[in-house]
Structures are given as C-alpha cells and as structure tokens.
Amino acid sequence: MAAVATCGSVAASTGSAVATASKSNVTSFQRRGPRASVTNDSGPRLVSIAGTRPSVRNGQLLVSTGLPALDQLLGGGLAVGTVLLIEEDKYNIYSPLLFKYFLAEGIVNGHTLLVASAKEDPANILQELPAPLLDDKCKKEFDEDVYNHKTPESNIKMKIAWRYQLLPKMEIGPVSSSRFGHYYDASKRMPQELIEASNWHGFFLPEKISSTLKVEPCSLTPGYTKLLQFIQNIIYEEGFDGSNPQKKQRNILRIGIQNLGSPLWGDDICCAENGGNSHSLTKFLYVLRGLLRTSLSACIITMPTHLIQNKAIIARVTTLSDVVVGLESFIGSERETNPLYKDYHGLIHIRQIPRLNNLICDESDVKDLAFKLKRKLFTIEVDFIS
C-alpha cells in the first residue's frame, strides 16, 4: 500500500501497471501479451512498418532506395537511420534521377517525406517524380523496353543447357505495392492524387532565411542551422524518435537534401579552398547523423563534390556519411567517343558501404559498374569490357 502511494506521482504508464497489479493482487510482474494490456497499449508490438524489411544478414531494418539494382549493390537496401550520399555528375543530369526515385519510393510506400533544396521549390520537385509501374498491364511495356535492346546472339535456342531456356528472362518485374522495391517509369509523372495523398514537408532555403544575416566564423552557416532545426522539429512533432508513442502507427521519414554544399546554401567550400566556414558542412553532417540515428528515418543527400576545392573536405564528408555512391557521366569527356562505352551513359562507383553492428560490410564483388538511362528505366549493369 505504501508502495502504491509513493508511486502515485510517477509517470502514467508505470502508475497504471502498479494499479493493475494491485487489482489482480497476485504479483506486480506483468506478462506482455494481448490480454495484459487493457488500460494502455504501451507494450511493444512486433508491428512491421510498410516499405521496410529486415536485412537477411543481421536483421537491420532496411528501406528501398527506389532502384532495385542499387538496393542489391548496397546489400539489400538502405538501413534506417543512415545517410546515402550521392556525388553528383558534372552536369547534374543523373543524380536528380536517383533523388527522385528515392522520394517516389517513399510516396508509394506511404512514408513521410521531407524535401530540402536551395535551388528549386520542393513542390516543383515533387511534381516531377516518376510514375510507379504497379500493374501487370505495365509489364508488357517493361518487357518491350528490355527486349528492344537484346543482342542477336541471345536469341539462339540453347542446345546444351536447354533447361535454362525455360527460366523467366527477368528475375524481378513490376510488383504490387506490398513488395520491397518498385520500378518506375522515368518518362511519366507520378499521378497527382498519389502526391496529394502523401504527407510531405518542404524546406526551400530562400523562403526560410533573410539574406542579411551575419555569420560568425567557425559556426554553422545559417542555412544549415535552419535546416537542422526544421528536421529536428519534424522528427519530434511527428514522433519519429518515439517521443509521442500514443500516436498512430509508426512510419519512416525519408529526408532528401539536394545540392548540399553548393554556394546556394551559403557554403563556400565550392568557391574557395580555405574559406571562413570550411567546417560548416562537416558539422552539419555530424549533427544530421546524430538526428537520424535516434529516429526512424533515412536520408539521401546529393552533393556536387566535383566543385569542392579542398580534397580533404571530400574525404571527411565521405567518412561522415554512411553509404557513398559516385556518378560519373561520360558527357563531355573523352570516354563518350570510346567504343567500349557506347552502350552506357556513365559509370557508377560505390565508394563506401557502412558496417552497421557488424565487423564486415556487404560489399559486392563487382567493382566495374556502369549505368544507362533508357527511355523509361535507369539500369545499372556490370561493365564487362573494362
């Protein structure tokens, strides 16, 4: 009885547990099960969040990046709580595609989106997302696109290994929305009703910041400070870090930051080699990773690393991110006319894969990967020639 009185002032969850114990009068030990939690449902349930799956290696919760080929290269997907850094190609044509695939995957799975950009209005970015290929009637177009590029040799019937002729030509095809990775049609836009049904937050830097702020040295650029505060507010208010447990079902927050480090964010690492706030970007990434690790979110960042003057900053940025993928397009370089690369539009370099709760990482054996943007699909293939 005295125990109940002293416990009267503690938090509601423990108080109610004690109350039920005194009601049953047997023991204060509570079994976690469906019949035990009558008063509140603060007991943890094994609820699976839409669009995620545990990794087959170590059970880490993974989300899809929007490109099943990239998921496979990263060892199943992007782990929740990590940062995917895309090093932009020189003319910034292919990295926005990967950015949009990530966001489109979030909309299809019903995740919450947070889009931050200093260049374009986030509402405009969302209007340009690719349409998902969901039904079987789209499977025909998908297969057509693939068959158009088949070489003549592969049409010969196999005489010795004829059992393999009966296998389906594609391992993964367009799937329904309950599966993990989806295919997108880059030539069509996402339907308006899907975008409006989704929950998204936008951060457009010119609207959020006045241009006459004074920057103290050795601190974060005001743009970065505002962005971090914005992300922190969203995470807290919508309960992605578990701070509002009574709210509705748990969901993933997908954060997309475009062109981080460019001068439009107010950062001068692209302009000068030893600028005044050269640690601003690294501090931002450090704080961002802290925010991500304590919440159910995944982040994609595109960065114009080819413009960064100080190469040491690129090395620091790589260390502070989890997954780093570099895109190198052939436009304007001498490789464009090289006949060995004529089928492809560029090379894709997987520069870093994280070791999360693990001693080794899921590195794939192939290092020579090339990508090409077909009329509808973005594919990543192993480049056998080089």
Sites of contact with another protein (CB under 8 A): 91-93, 96, 118-121, 124, 127-128, 159-160, 206, 211, 262-264, 266-268, 270-273, 304, 306-307, 309, 331-332, 337, 339-340
CB contact at 8 A, 265 and 116: no
Smallest gap from Cβ 144 to another protein, in A, equals: 24
CB of 92 to another protein, least distance (A): 7
Q: Which helix (H) or strand (E) holds 286?
A: helix 280-293
Cβ within 8 Å of residue 171, ≥6 positions away: none
Give the nearer residue to another protein in terms of CB position, either 44 or 339.
339
Nearest CB to another protein, comparing residues 91 and 147: 91
Closest to another protein by CB, 110 vs 263, is 263
Q: How far apart are CA 242 and CA 249, in angstroms?
A: 11
| 122 closest CA partner among 93, 96, 95 | 96
Minimum distance of another protein from residue 318's CB (angstroms): 20
Could you tell me the smallest distance in angstroms from the CB atom of residue 291 to another protein?
Answer: 25
User: Helix (H, G, I), strand (E, B), or coil: what is residue 341?
Assistant: helix
Cα separation, 118 vs 129, whole angstroms:
18
Q: Which is nearer to another protein, 63 or 118 (CB)?
A: 118
Nearer to another protein, 338 or 358 (CB): 338
Comparing CB distances to another protein, the nearer of 137 and 159 is 159
Query: Which C-beta is closer to another protein: that of 249 or that of 274?
Result: 274
Tell me phi and psi for residue 61, to 5 degrees.
-75, 130
- Minimum gap (Å) between residue 229 Cβ and another protein: 20
Least separation in angstroms between residue 281's CB and another protein is 12
**Contacting residues for 366 by C-beta, under 8 A, at least 6 apart:** 382
Q: How far apart, in whole angstroms, are the C-alpha atoms of residue 126 and residue 257?
A: 13
Strand, helix or coil for residue 144:
helix
Beta strands (DSSP E) in the chain are 52-54, 61-63, 78-79, 83-87, 112-117, 130-132, 184-189, 200-204, 253-257, 297-303, 323-329, 346-352, 369-373, 378-382
CA 74 to CA 352: how far, in whole Å?
9
Q: How far is the CB of 127 from another protein (least distance, A)?
A: 8
- Smaller CB distance to another protein: residue 52 or 329? 329
User: Least distance to another protein from the beta carbon of 91, Å?
Assistant: 5
Contact 306, 88 (CB under 8 A): yes
3-state secondary structure of 318: helix
Q: State how far the Cα of 118 lies from the Cα of 206, in Å rounded to an integer.
A: 7
Q: Which two tokens stand for residue 383?
A: 């480049």
Q: How far is the CB of 161 from another protein (least distance, A)?
A: 11
Residue placing its CB nearer to another protein in the complex, 121 or 241: 121
